[in-house]
Structure 1
Amino acid sequence: MARQIKLIWDFRGPASAKTAEHHEIHLKEFIAIEQLPISITGFEVTNEMHAIAFIVVNDEQMIPMRDALKPHRGELFMP
């Protein structure tokens, strides 16, 4: 199985949870428009002042997705 990378967008402040949740909607829209074989997206609330939205891509998809979507950071995805 190919290595998977979690591309992450960080949101901070009191509205971070709602912003991350909304950003995931845009990630799903991008996947649908581009007809990409990506099924893992999400958002997580770290605390009341920090939340993330993310998308999980295969290693070979990472560079084109990084360049197109401009995530803040990435990490190896361990299901």
Structure 2
Amino acid sequence: MSAAVTEVTAPEQVYVCLWSHAGGVPGHLHFVVQPVGKEDMARFDAFGPALQVAMGQAGRFPDAAEAERVRDRLREALG
């Protein structure tokens, strides 16, 4: 998945995280694959998990239409 995200979005890095705690207790899974560019790291003065938290707190989420376009391109890349 990381290779496909790199192919489709050409980021500086791709973060891959597995979150498995709900309220501090293992309960369900979130598998996050996030392309990251230098502009996001500079804007939020953070990287890694701190960048993910800062982007979420700032409400920095992809536009729904853009997410759908990337989804379609990923489907093609994954064949």
Which category of TM-score, normalised to the shorter sequence, fits these structures? 0.3 to 0.5
* Higher RCO (C-alpha 8 Å, min separation 6): 1
Larger Rg: 2
TM-score, normalising length: structure 2: 0.34
TM-score, normalised to structure 1, is 0.34
**Larger helix fraction of residues:** 2
